[in-house]
Structure 1
Amino acid sequence: MSDVIDASGAPRPVGIYPHARRVGNLLFLSGIGPRDPAGNGIPGNEYFADGRVRSHDIAAQARAVFANVRAVLDASGSRWEDLVDITVYLTDMARDFAAYNAVWAEHFPDPATAPCRTTLGIDALPTPIAIELKCVAAFKE
């Protein structure tokens, strides 16, 4: 049996799935992006008149993603320190990895206490975002 987590402080999922699901002492977060919970805007994106993305600010998006992850953790009763594994999806690895890595270091300054991490370069995400995180947390017994 598992508990479904709905985080009112996080942006709504873009599909039919929960923000997270708790199974035993593990919390599995669905993919979390940088959309603003209030207005659904994407921080750091600049657009052409036709709506296509002209440019993005990966640092702004990374900070927004981390804030959204915190909102889901808070809604579940978990904490930032409970994160054990994060998969990072970047749509422009060559351009964005260094800046993303710098924001990561702001949030996880000590490698001894940071969660494990895998970073993947991908072609696209379902909305015009440049980053998405897939996280697993472990509740303290």
Structure 2
Amino acid sequence: MAPDATSSAHNSGRAPEPVGLYPHARRVGHLLFLSGVGPRQRGQTQVPGVELDAEGRIVRYDFESQCHAVFRNVRYILEEAGAGWDDLVDVTVFLTNMRDDFATYNRLYAEYFQTNQPCRTTVEVNCLPTPIAIELKCVAAMAG
């Protein structure tokens, strides 16, 4: 890191607890990097709208409610780190079922990002660390 660059970790009191040893976000200079954000709710292990089988595999899920929860959690982290929704400049989206969920995701994304349109990459992954169908990795540019 450059000698004059500042770096600080930020954790939200409203977003779900991290599932490992990492902060919700880290600010480096004017950039805020968010760790992967899923739809869980703070203080809860069960994901809203997710039904699991006896082995803990996803049987059924409400993808739309997971999208809204992910966006809400990103907003919590941004706000508590001193940033806002319009500061987002890059979003990486991880979906576990691109074929079935992309159209819903794309529709909801368009609603949330009507005025601010950050760069976006969407990829399908085999699974995520908890029984969720979506995770976002975001970068925000903040004022000095």
TM-score interval, normalised by the smaller of the two chains: over 0.9
The answer to whether the 8 Å contact 2:17/2:43 transfers is no
Residue deviations 1:81-130 (CA, integer Å, cap 9, x gap): 000000000000001000111110110124xx311100001101011100
| DSSP-derived class of the 1:89 partner | strand
Corresponding residue for residue 10 of structure 1? 15
- Aligned mates of 1:50, 1:40 — CA distance in 2: 15
- Report SS of the residue matched to 2:72: helix
1:87 maps to what in 2?
Answer: 92
C-alpha separation between the residues in 1 aligned to 2:134 and 2:140? 19
Is 1:27 matched up with 2:32?
yes
Aligned counterparts, 1:1-141, within 5 A = 1-110=6-115, 113-141=116-144
Q: Within 2, Cα distance between the matches of 1:78 and 1:41? A: 28
May I ask how many residue pairs the two structures share in their alignment?
139
Q: Which runs of 5+ in 1 are unaligned?
A: none
Q: Whole-Å Cα distance in 2 between the matches of residues 43 and 2 of structure 1?
A: 34
Structure 1 window deviating more from structure 2 (32-41 vs 62-71): it is: 32-41
Contact 1:11 1:40 in 2 (8 A): no
Aligned-residue Cα RMSD (Å) equals 1.2
Aligned residues with identical type, % of pairs: 55
Asked whether the equivalents of residues 38 and 134 of structure 2 are also in contact (C-alpha less than 8 Å), the reply is: yes
Misfit runs of 4+, over 4 Å: none
> How far did residue 52 of structure 1 move?
2.7
Counterpart AA for 1:68? N
- Measure how far apart 1:35 and its partner are: 0.3
Are 2:90 and 2:139, in contact at CA under 8 Å, matched by a contact in 1?
yes
Any stretches of 5+ residues in structure 2 without a counterpart? 1-5
Q: Within 2, Cα distance between the matches of 1:45 and 1:94?
A: 19
